[in-house]
Structure 1
Amino acid sequence: MELCSTAVSCMAAFLLLHLGLISSMAQQNEVQTGLVGGEVTLKCTGIPLDSKLSRDEVSWMYYKTLLWRTENNNAWRTSAFPTHRADVKMENKQLRMWDLKLSDAGIYTCKSSSHEVRISLHIFKLTVSLDGHFLQNEVPELILMQNSSSPLPNLKITLFNSNNNKVIPELQSKTHQKYIVNLKKLEATDSGTWLCQVRSDSPLINQNISFVIKVLGFQNPDLERKYATVDSTVILSWHLNSQKIKWKEGFTGQLNWKQQEGANAHELLDFKVTAQGELHETKKSSNFLFEIPERNAEIIIEVKLPKVYFNHSGQYQCQLEYQGRHVQSKIELVVMKVSANPDGPLSRGANMTLTCQVSGPLPPNAYLRWERVNGTNMDVKNSRQHEIKLEVNISAAGLWSCHLIEDNDRKISLHYHVEEAPVWISYVIIGASVAGSLLVFALGCLCIISGISWQRRMVSAMVPVKGAESTGSPNHRRSQISCLGAGQNR
């Protein structure tokens, strides 16, 4: 009897355990995620597709509200079923929803005579400021919102840029429902598809949300420095990335020039880009000598200076405007010139001063250098830091070169050929110098003789002739004349 009782107890325990397993298999709980504006398919997991079950009653409920039901292959929807955003596939009883909203989050139940599947739909919404259209150096703001039937989890957000590099955003504010983060200042190379990875441990969520960022800007550096020599030809170019990102909105811009910081700006040209990507330019300045080169397929703003003058130096700023926002890129044009004093052939034994000058300040890693081609180390002179003018005193003829060196790289060079005066010219110069010295000496002697003659005439004019006749004896007159002569000699 005890054995039988034990066997009955074991059988009862086995039946209870078996029924528990059946119950746990019959009712399943799942977590599924979706995105606002996206699409999701909720499956009746565990319902086989056989002819018998297809005649069973299957229903979809949102919480306790009946949405859809089928019986004997006849389906009908209730008024709560969003017919314009949802549908049920008869062959597998899957509920497909599109154009999702945050309010669609909640518990959906697929129920049949033998199975019941409960799905917790978790909805995310990612919003990018300015509709994803940014100018260079602007900071995007991302807003991530979530909605669910259960308590909202604490999310971990990771971002990857268009180059698949991890980006650490700056968290501005956070609630369980809403996260606001800021990105870094954008560059033109940041255009493309980004990825927002959302994770949670409880419930287990790993949702990837892709979004597009378009950055309109210049592919040039923020501040570009270009060097040119006097009388050379230079082209200043600003490369826009609007074609690469297929910018659909029109924008305008202008190109200004000012000779130095704080000076008045002069507008050289303005331009606009249509929604079809066509560039239209208009020349504004008639006093400044420049040309607009013929455009190629890319959108490039260019000005050509066919002959550079020293006063063409300064800041050339290209500015874009889109919906009241601006972005600009500058090119600093630095011009070099050389001169000599005295200007002409270098005579033997003479000296000459060569001057090399640039139009604007140089960066700390740049300097000027004078050197004689095929010369020695004694013929090399470098400028000090921040010097924009370098002079060198030379006594040797030949080809002298002034180099502008930045980071040990010669950016530009300007040559000055110092000719040596012929020998006969040297002799002529020496002869002229000697002749000039003799002429000066002769003129000096002539001036002395003229002065003495003038002094004698003045003394003679001062002697009273009549008084001398009435003085008496000839001996007295001779003594007077002797005295006068002695005085003149003194």
Structure 2
Amino acid sequence: QKTTPNVSSTLYILFLILSHSLISSMAHQHEFQTGLAGGEVTLNCTGILPDSKLPRDTVVHWKYYDTPLWYMEKGRSWKTFNADRFVIKMQYKQLWVRNLKLSDAGIYTCEYGTHKVRTSLHIFKLMISLDGHFLQNEVPELILMQNSSSPLLDLRITLFDSNNNTVMPELQNKSRQKYIMNLKKLEAVDSGTWVCQVHSDSPLIDQNIPFAVKVLGFQNPNLERKYATVDSSVILSWHLNTQKIKWKEGFTGQLNWKQQESANPHELLDFNVTAQGQLHETKKSSNFLFEIPERKPESTIEVKLPKVHFNHSGQYQCQLEYQGRHAQSKIELVVMKVSAKPVGPLSRGANMTLTCQVSGPLQPNAYLRWERVNGTKMDIKNSKHNEVKLEVNISVAGLWSCHLIEDSDRKISLHYHVEEAAVWTNYVIIGASVGGSLLVFALGCLCIISNISWQRRRQRAKRMAQARQHLLENKTCQCQQ
């Protein structure tokens, strides 16, 4: 007799197979986790009950590959690993690993009852050259390493600087074990926390690895231009960023001056900054007239020129030195002077030449201008491109000003007052009377004299007095007759 299969029995068998597969998959779980060298990670014994609900006869094992790490049976436990770096969090039997190393990567297994939880731990290690301490314009080297139990991943790496701007590194070497990258030239504003973002599609990894960058340098631009007039006072300052970035290393430096780029530098002072941030300065030059102000902002190198000379112009360079490396910042001092030929005063109808001169080359967008205060457009003259000396011929007295102008901005001005020559008027009156009537003989002489010496005026006055006395004597003789 031919029998037909029992449909309900078939379904039951399928249900048992599926249930067994589901239970098996739940009993053997596979997890993936990442960690950073030097950091810590917690590996879960997934699905285990907390201590309060865990039967006393439960046996729990933690293994690294086949090496036992921790064992618990009937409330008693044994440690077989480094207790300083591997700790069990008892409530859920989690494995806490501290101070991770690349060699800690691999398979960790938690077993309890029929459950087995396998965790693949993938370790990244990020290293930055010079321990993250740089000077301006230096290029850091970044090394990313990885270790895993499975074949190493092909990673995509993106960098973000302290201002969250994307930085494209220059890849020097790429193996799946080690990525060597050069970053950009650093500036003082790049100090802060950077982020190395590591990405993989399979297994899915989006790991952000922060790292610190400290750039010792100046808050001034690399080249600053300062303007001064002859006989004025000026203060030159370099603001270090040591306090801002909490630089905890000692360093030294010096301040040099040279009038021209090709000239030999002249050392003005040297200084050192301790790890506690204390600044000590020593004056080195006795020939160059300058002062070191006592009161100034913290972490500031500052000198004062109390009376600027035209030959004080040039480049003032402040240089830092740290572990044999150097960084520098320059201030270019531009000095202006004015003069007149002849010196004056200006006689009516005469001419005078005013000269305005600056000590160094001007920027392409800069020029000199002479103008008379409260004058007309005819009293304005501008220099040509690259002219550092501007002359103007004048015939009108008054206050004249020379300006150095960059992009319509007056950087500096110097005034020259042209005096008008004095006008002298002399009157001589001689009088006489005849026969009771007063006959007045008057001789008036009006003289307008320019640039006559005091001695010549005295001689003329003496001659006029003698003439007057002679006429009075003649009048007396006529009366007696």
State the 1:3 CA deviation.
Answer: 6.6
Alignment of 1:80-479 (within 5 A): 81-424=81-424, 427-429=448-450
Mean Cα deviation higher: 158-167 or 241-250: 158-167
Secondary structure of 2:424's partner? helix
Secondary structure of 1:428's partner? coil
CA shift digits 1:209-249 (9 cap, x unpaired): 11111111001111111110001010000000011111111
Secondary structure of 1:244's partner? helix
Secondary structure of 2:243's partner? coil
Count of matched residue pairs: 431
CA shift digits 1:397-451 (9 cap, x unpaired): 111100001121100000011112233399214999xx9xxxxxxxxxxxxxxxx
CA shift digits 1:436-475 (9 cap, x unpaired): xxxxxxxxxxxxxxxxxxxxxxxxxxxxxxxxxxxxxxxx
Which residue is equivalent to 1:56? 58
State the 1:4 CA deviation.
Answer: 5.5
| Mapped partners of 2:295, 2:102: distance in 1 | 49
**What is the identity, as a one-letter code, of the residue corresponding to 1:315?**
Q
Which residue is equivalent to 1:28? 29
Which residue is equivalent to 1:45? 46
Secondary structure of 1:100's partner? coil
Q: Is residue 371–residue 381 contact of structure 2 (8 Å, CA) maintained in 1?
A: yes
State the 1:51 CA deviation.
Answer: 3.1
CA shift digits 1:276-326 (9 cap, x unpaired): 110000000000100001144511000000000001001100000011001
Residues 1:65 and 2:67 are matched in the alignment: yes
Give the TM-score normalised by structure 1: 0.85
Q: Is residue 45–residue 93 contact of structure 2 (8 Å, CA) maintained in 1?
A: yes
Larger radius of gyration: 1
Pairwise CA RMSD of aligned residues? Answer: 1.8
State the 1:151 CA deviation.
Answer: 0.8
CA shift digits 1:88-134 (9 cap, x unpaired): 12221111111111010001111111321110000010001001110
| Mapped partners of 2:297, 2:389: distance in 1 | 42
In the superposition, relative to structure 1, how do residues 37 and 16 fare at CA in structure 2: closer, same or farther (>3 Å)? same
Q: Is residue 423–residue 450 contact of structure 2 (8 Å, CA) maintained in 1?
A: no
| Mapped partners of 1:198, 1:414: distance in 2 | 60
List, as ranges, runs of 4+ consecutive aligned residues in structure 1 with deviation greater than 6 Å: none
- Structure 2 unmatched ranges of 5 or more: 426-446, 457-481
| Mapped partners of 2:450, 2:309: distance in 1 | 36
| Mapped partners of 2:363, 2:88: distance in 1 | 70
Which residue is equivalent to 1:75? 77
- Structure 1 unmatched ranges of 5 or more: 436-490
| Mapped partners of 2:167, 2:252: distance in 1 | 31
Residues 1:12 and 2:13 are matched in the alignment: yes
| Mapped partners of 2:173, 2:388: distance in 1 | 51
Q: Is residue 317–residue 329 contact of structure 2 (8 Å, CA) maintained in 1?
A: yes
Which residue is equivalent to 1:455? none
| Mapped partners of 1:91, 1:431: distance in 2 | 112
In the superposition, relative to structure 1, how do residues 18 and 2 fare at CA in structure 2: closer, same or farther (>3 Å)? farther
State the 1:53 CA deviation.
Answer: 3.9
Q: Is residue 368–residue 404 contact of structure 2 (8 Å, CA) maintained in 1?
A: yes
Which residue is equivalent to 1:458? none
- Higher helix share goes to which structure? 1
Give the TM-score normalised by structure 2: 0.87
CA shift digits 1:321-356 (9 cap, x unpaired): 011001111111010000011111111111111100
